[in-house]
A and B are shown apart, each in its own frame.
Chain A
Amino acid sequence: MIEAVNLYKSFGDREVLKNINVQFEKGKTNLIIGESGSGKTVLMKCLVGLLEVDKGKVLYDNRNFSEMALRARKAIRQEIGMLFQGGALFDSLNVEENVMFALNMFTNMTPEEKLERVNFCLCRVNIVNSNKLYPSELSGGMKKRVAIARAISMNPKYLFCDEPNSGLDPKTSILIDNLISEITREYEITTVINTHDMNSVIEIGDKIAFIYKGELWWEGTNEEILVSDNKEINDFVYATELLRKLKK
């Protein structure tokens, strides 16, 4: 379980996160939703320590991550997999080397074992026969999927995904959503996903945290969100004509 307690973060005099208190549960896909610019990416970066919080703390299974020394943080980071909004694959390495990177760095597996693990992860995200391609030779969706494969290569206990399906077609989006939710259940991962895609919310939202202007506005499940009478929630959920019609 990952917990954020009284989290504050501002850039200069611009307050981006205000008093965030939220828990993300193990074995569930936890969603952070909110409109563009509401602070989702900043919240996620605070959770993993890429940004230092101004006030408050982040707990990983009751281990206080915010006050840890660098060395202890590194140990926890090896339990974290993260998918970045832009993929962030290493340009100079091919698909196979990208997925193998952490295995090379942190394990003593033999080359055969590593290759087997890499192929397993790539197969899991439906990337076959592309081991030797470089990131510049992949499509957007393939990059995302390779990035997921890289994020799960070390069997993470915590998985963070920043907009896993932005810029993808609806079919691939659903594929990736289901993939993440399957992996989460299968390996009992604590998964946190940033999204503004309503499809994902309905499909895989075990637990949803709605961020509005830097504040935690609402929490609940994907069933509750559809019937909530909160105005901001309704504006967000029923932003499209199609969903408004379906509601009636």
Chain B
Amino acid sequence: MHVFYHIGKYGLLMVRTFARPQKWNAFRKQVFIEMDALCLGSLGIIAIISVFMGAVLVIQTAYNIDSPWIPLYTIGFTARQSLVLEFCPTMISLILAGKVGSRISSEIGTMRVTEQIDALEIMGVNSANYLILPKVTACVLINPFLIALSMFLGLIGGWLAAVVGHVTTSHIYILGIQSFFVPYEIFYALIKTAFFAFIITSVSGYHGYFTHGGALEVGRSSTLAVVYSSILIILANLVLTQLLLAA
């Protein structure tokens, strides 16, 4: 019963969120602010994680294939497939769920407990729309670019590991990451990312928006936001993969 209660309440909040903004230019400005704060602010951590992840993938793949029957370009190929299909879209989204999700829900939660949301409502502003929609829009639009960048940096990290660690030559690694390339896989990854971005922003928005009480509850709802967005990302990952990749 509890689950249905939350799903219903979340649904109603989304209906209010996806209303027409009161003023389009105010909305546009807010979207740019959120793009800067939520998305560009995460560039650093994404870059670091991607480079290291790519490097580790290459070293581990090389470690696992010591049979002379498996060609060395398999290393680059495997690294690319893992990065594009799973590591970048899902792992980075999970990290963003922690970083962006807790930020969104504590920001909105604090506005709730300090009556700033009431103040918006009193003015006649649709507070859900004003607070949540720009965040959802910003992340759904920008996160795919972040993930594309993360894929690129991951491959660079793999290249560094390959060359510096003398795992294979630069030439063979690059041959590997170019082989059997299916552009649809990139599309699949970016679609996943957009869905995950929606989950992160809307679920955290939900937890922040319905905070009651004080500082303690703000902290509690940002924990819940991270936990639930992570779980939902994992579930959505399964469903989307089944829908988009299963033959």
A interface with B by C-beta (< 8 Å): 45, 48, 50, 74-75, 77-78, 80-82, 84-86, 88-91, 101-102, 104-106, 154
User: Which of A50, A78, A81, A104 interacts with B118 by CB under 8 Å?
Assistant: A50
Query: Which residues of chain B come closer than 8 Å to A80, judged between CB atoms?
Result: 122
A48 to chain B, nearest CB (A): 6
Interface range on chain B: under 10, 10 to 19, 20 to 34, or 35 or more?
10 to 19
A50-B122 contact in complex given A84-B115, A86-B115, A91-B116, C-beta closer than 8 Å: yes
Q: Tell whether B243 is near chain A: CB-to-CB under 8 Å.
A: no
Interface positions of B from 188 to 213, Cβ below 8 Å from A: none
Cα A82 to Cα B119 in complex, Å, equals 7
A199 to chain B, nearest CB (A): 25
A88-B115 contact in complex given A50-B121, A50-B122, A80-B122, C-beta closer than 8 Å: yes
- The count of A-to-B residue pairs whose CB atoms sit within 8 angstroms is 50
Q: Tell whether B44 is near chain A: CB-to-CB under 8 Å.
A: no
Query: Which residues of chain B come closer than 8 Å to A90, judged between CB atoms?
Result: 111, 116, 119
B13 to chain A, nearest CB (A): 14
Cα A154 to Cα B119 in complex, Å, equals 14
Q: Tell whether B82 is near chain A: CB-to-CB under 8 Å.
A: no
Q: Tell whether B114 is near chain A: CB-to-CB under 8 Å.
A: yes
Q: Contact string, B117-140, partner A, CB cutoff 8 A, digits 1/0? A: 011011111100000000000000
User: Which of B23, B115, B118 interacts with A105 by CB under 8 Å?
Assistant: B23
Query: Which residues of chain B come closer than 8 Å to A78, judged between CB atoms?
Result: 123-124
Query: Which residues of chain B come closer than 8 Å to A101, judged between CB atoms?
Result: 123
Closest to A150 in B: B119
A82-B122 contact in complex given A88-B115, A91-B116, C-beta closer than 8 Å: yes
A83 to chain B, nearest CB (A): 9
Cα A236 to Cα B42 in complex, Å, equals 56
Among B22, B114, B119, the one with the most A-chain Cβ atoms within 10 Å of its Cβ is: B119
Closest to B119 in A: A88
Are B123 and A102 touching (Cβ within 8 A)?
Answer: yes
Cα A90 to Cα B26 in complex, Å, equals 15
Interface positions of B from 1 to 40, Cβ below 8 Å from A: 22-23, 26
Are A88 and B124 touching (Cβ within 8 A)?
Answer: no
Are B26 and A104 touching (Cβ within 8 A)?
Answer: yes
Cα A105 to Cα B121 in complex, Å, equals 12
Query: Which residues of chain A come closer than 8 Å to B111, judged between CB atoms?
Result: 90-91
Are B26 and A105 touching (Cβ within 8 A)?
Answer: yes
Query: Which residues of chain A come closer than 8 Å to B118, judged between CB atoms?
Result: 45, 50, 84, 88
A74-B124 contact in complex given A104-B26, A105-B22, A105-B23, C-beta closer than 8 Å: yes
Given A90-B119, A106-B123: 13 more A-B contacts, CB < 8 Å: A50-B122, A77-B122, A86-B114, A88-B115, A88-B116, A88-B119, A90-B111, A90-B116, A91-B110, A91-B116, A105-B123, A106-B22, A106-B124
Cα A74 to Cα B124 in complex, Å, equals 5
Query: Which residues of chain B come closer than 8 Å to A91, judged between CB atoms?
Result: 110-111, 114, 116
Cα A81 to Cα B123 in complex, Å, equals 7
Query: Which residues of chain B come closer than 8 Å to A50, judged between CB atoms?
Result: 118, 121-122
Cα A105 to Cα B123 in complex, Å, equals 9
A88-B123 contact in complex given A104-B26, A105-B26, C-beta closer than 8 Å: no
B37 to chain A, nearest CB (A): 10
Closest to B23 in A: A105
Cα A144 to Cα B123 in complex, Å, equals 17
A154 to chain B, nearest CB (A): 8
16 A-B pairs (CB sep. < 8 Å): A50-B122, A77-B123, A77-B124, A78-B123, A78-B124, A84-B119, A86-B114, A86-B115, A88-B116, A90-B116, A91-B114, A91-B116, A102-B123, A105-B123, A106-B22, A106-B123
Sorted from nearest, which 6 A-B pairs have the closest CB atoms?
A77-B124, A88-B115, A74-B124, A88-B119, A78-B124, A82-B122
Query: Which residues of chain B come closer than 8 Å to A74, judged between CB atoms?
Result: 124, 126
Are A104 and B122 touching (Cβ within 8 A)?
Answer: no
Among A45, A48, A50, A81, the one with the most B-chain Cβ atoms within 10 Å of its Cβ is: A50
Cα A78 to Cα B124 in complex, Å, equals 6
A46 to chain B, nearest CB (A): 13
A186 to chain B, nearest CB (A): 22
Closest to A45 in B: B118
A33 to chain B, nearest CB (A): 21
Cα A104 to Cα B26 in complex, Å, equals 8
Query: Which residues of chain A come closer than 8 Å to B22, judged between CB atoms?
Result: 105-106
Cα A86 to Cα B119 in complex, Å, equals 11
Cα A82 to Cα B114 in complex, Å, equals 14
Query: Which residues of chain A come closer than 8 Å to B123, judged between CB atoms?
Result: 77-78, 101-102, 105-106, 154
